Chain A
Amino acid sequence: MNTSTANAPFERALQDNLQTIKKLLPSEDILTYEFETADELACALVYADGIVNKELLARLVASPLQSTDLTRLLPKKDGGRVEANEKTAENAVEKSQLFPEFKTVQTIEDGVNEILDGNTLLLVDTIPVGFISGAKLLPVRTIMEPPTDIAVKGPREGFIEDIKTNMALVRKRLKTPALRFETLRVGKQSYTAVTLCYLEGTSIQSVKDEIKKKLQAIEVDNIPDSSYISAFLAPRKHSLFRTVGTTEKPDIFTAKIAEGRVGILVDGSPIALTVPYITTEDLQSSEDYFISPFTATVFRFLRLISLFVAILLPAFYVSAQLFKMQLLPLGLMLTIASSVRELPLSPSMEMFVVLLLLEILKEASIRMPKYVGMSLSVVGALVLGETAVSAGFLSTPAIIIVAFSGICLYTVPNFVETGSLLRWLFLLVGGALGPFGIVLLSAFTLCYLLTADSYGTPPLAPFSPLIKSDLRDAIVKFDMQSLSSRPAFLRSKNKTRLKVGAKHDKSENK
């Protein structure tokens, strides 16, 4: 875009403006509809074809203007003389409109950006401003339950790709004047809307400032998904661990905002981001808050144990065979010994092959069409698994262990990518150094996590640093009444989120 032309204000002559816009937007999908008012004043609508509701545009913008005598709408001074200036002319146009979403822009650049965003620019001859009507009609899918975040109990709505719909879903749940949306544009070519959502007075300013600073510093052509933004927001670029929370569900998103986090919605992505993020969030599910705290605690412990099993079991199995047989009970050791006796591969190599098979099958089943996926699982389970065992390439315990580890990992869906990589790492050190390597890598991982603060929040909080009040909703889940304060690690100034027995403000006012 030629910036000098684009930054210029609108001209008085309609045709001059149209020519400038045509120069800036020469694409064939940018259309112009020219017409005249009742007093023969030339007007034009400029819009992008396919993303505008033309019917609304005709009915609520063009048609009223065509039947309006603009000079009649201009204010008159004493004696009936018309007071004609830019401001009064603008007001006259606005009065003639029936469209509820209507605003003015002063420069051509703003007008062009609005056109690209799906809005329509109305230009009237002799008036040097542009009028924007929000007759956007973008193709959007319906709101449905997100496939990655299914809950048996609780709300089933999920975010979609349209940011306005997502903002509405958030507003629907947080009907407070403290809820703020701040939209920034990111992407040199895509000019994607990225909206910060937070509760004023609850979220902390330093986090908001840091996010804004990072978003403004992004220089990238295109933002196809929120994961791009998440990569730019992460304090450590090469970290194996997530530093930004993600969710597809508005109920989780609003709950996190209400706790004091800052949410980020990205146009074109159904995945919303939340900052700051701690590792225990992965172990929590939205359902935990809709069932009894005891059951929720048991489920969380199950997830935690599953996570450890998923990451460490293959490594311990290999290291037990190679370095420390005592780890296995005698009966099991004999069973394993008989099944691995004639294997051509070493225990670590065998586990490596089985794990590789699992990862390949997983990757292929995600990418393949559904009807092929069915046959793929048959090939994977029967042909590869069963035949490999009967042919003596692999042992049954190794397949059981990898299968179990694979299932366990999916109890914590948000940790699958990291867990998968960690499993490889642990397998590598378990095969090379035995249990010592596993313990050493565990210590190393913990030490890394202990100091990998993001946005001033330690990822292992509330365990380290120990925050007693936040332990009530970490692994062990206390009842609702006990969760009276907002998480301390978020450093919110507004600490109280629940007062048991407190009267409602409105009733107090009465």
Chain B
Amino acid sequence: MIMNYLQTTSQNDGVHARQIAFFSAFLLPTYKLLEAPSLLARYAKGDLLLPALFHFFLQTGLLLLLLYASSRSEKTLLSRMEERLGKWSVAVYIVYALFFLFYAVLPLLDLEKFVYAIFYDTSPTLFSFAFFFILCGFVCTKGIKCMGRIADLSLFLFLLPFLLLLLMSLVEADASNLLPFFERPLSDTGKAFTYTTPHFSDVVLILPLLGNLRYQKGDGKKITLGYATGSLLTLLFLGVFYAVYSTVAPREHYAFAKIAQYFPALTIVGRVDLILVYALCIVLFFYTVSPLLFSAYCIAKPLKTHRKTLVAFCIALGAFLFVLFCNKYYNRIYELIAGKLFVIFYLIADLLPLSLLFLSKRKEQKNNA
């Protein structure tokens, strides 16, 4: 099986179900460790796990439907979509290319603030962050295959540092802070749910990978298990986060970078927890690049352009210019996207992919039989 994979992926954009599972389990949770915990705590207080749980139920349902659609044919979802829609598939690709750019806005702005807050005691210039866009451009040229391999690597880069940080933070955690359950009114939970929609719209990021998967028996289980693992790890972090910070939680931005700092041994050996945080940051960087990569992919694929590098670097440059000019309006942009434009996420990230369900008939095998 691995031989087939090595042979196919060396030539095209093929991904393995395991890689999608790892992407869901270890890459997707990283962004939820940045601003989402404090946002959830601001509206839902001790009930912050509830809106997160709703998000995960919604996304898991969507993922299961897409896996069902994927399992109905031996061809990939994207090739079936192209066959069915013909020239109109270009429009779908363009819509998703634009959507992924829109999707990347908040992670990019969040990452910029996070970098300045966590990596520096001094006040760095904006151009310090500009180098991140070189990485963006580079990854965007590498295609879907690269993201699959990043997902594999994230198992090692994410899991151990994350668990160690979580363990180290337990010394200050008081689980009773989460009690009583269902304390907040439903409207607050609802508000927390809508405000964090951009953070929890996961399946749309899985879609380009899933679209390139040649579905085999058992793939659905692997991917679902992967997403469930990612969700569980996120919920675990959210629980520990509120157990540590309690009422001050809404003001604790980028909590994962400082949650372990109260671990007693750190006073002797220094902030070695930052090494773990930095390892997680590598995964976070790759996560932030992923919507840009998928956008570049959606532009390059239908146009059959050989200038992938040009497309990739144009997108990276565009993203850089956006951050350069818009970082001042962070709060307004946040309010606009999370408070008003979250409907776009439901439409394009959740509802539009469901149309893939109507793409194909029964398995070709059965037709042949």
Interface residues, chain A, with chain B CB atoms under 8 Å away:
322-330, 332, 433-440, 442-444, 446-448, 450-451, 453, 456-458, 460, 463-467, 488-489, 491
Contact = CB atoms under 8 A, between A and B. Distances in A.
A437 B134 CA distance: 12
Q: Of B149, B269, B282, which is in contact with the most chain A CB atoms at under 10 Å from its CB?
A: B149
Contacts of B129: 436
B156 interface: yes
Classify chain B: how many residues form its interface, as a range. 35 or more
A488 B270 contact: no
A443 B282 contact: yes
Contacts, number: 119
A328 B6 CA distance: 43
Contact of A447 (B22, B132, B139): B139
B150 interface: yes
A316 B344 CA distance: 43
Contact of A451 (B16, B142, B268): B142
**Chain A at the B interface: SS class:** helix
Nearest to B22: A466
A447 to B, nearest CB: 6
Contacts of B135: 440, 443-444, 447
Contacts of B146: 447, 450-451
29 contacts: A324-B274, A325-B121, A327-B271, A330-B267, A433-B124, A433-B128, A434-B119, A434-B120, A435-B119, A435-B278, A436-B124, A436-B129, A437-B131, A439-B285, A442-B282, A443-B282, A444-B134, A446-B282, A447-B146, A448-B138, A450-B142, A451-B142, A453-B10, A456-B10, A460-B149, A463-B156, A464-B153, A465-B9, A465-B19
B286 interface: yes
B153 A324 contact: no
B132 to A, nearest CB: 6
Interface of B: 2-3, 5-7, 9-10, 16, 18-19, 22, 115, 119-122, 124, 128-129, 131-132, 134-135, 138-139, 142, 145-146, 148-150, 152-153, 155-156, 267-271, 274, 278, 281-282, 285-286
A293 to B, nearest CB: 20
Contacts of B286: 443, 447
B271 A326 contact: yes
B28 to A, nearest CB: 17
Contacts of A436: 115, 119-120, 124, 128-129
A329 B152 contact: no
Contacts of B152: 463-466
A201 to B, nearest CB: 16
B197 to A, nearest CB: 28
A435 B116 CA distance: 11
List of 5 A-B pairs having minimum Cβ-Cβ separation, nearest first: A329-B270, A436-B119, A464-B152, A464-B153, A450-B149
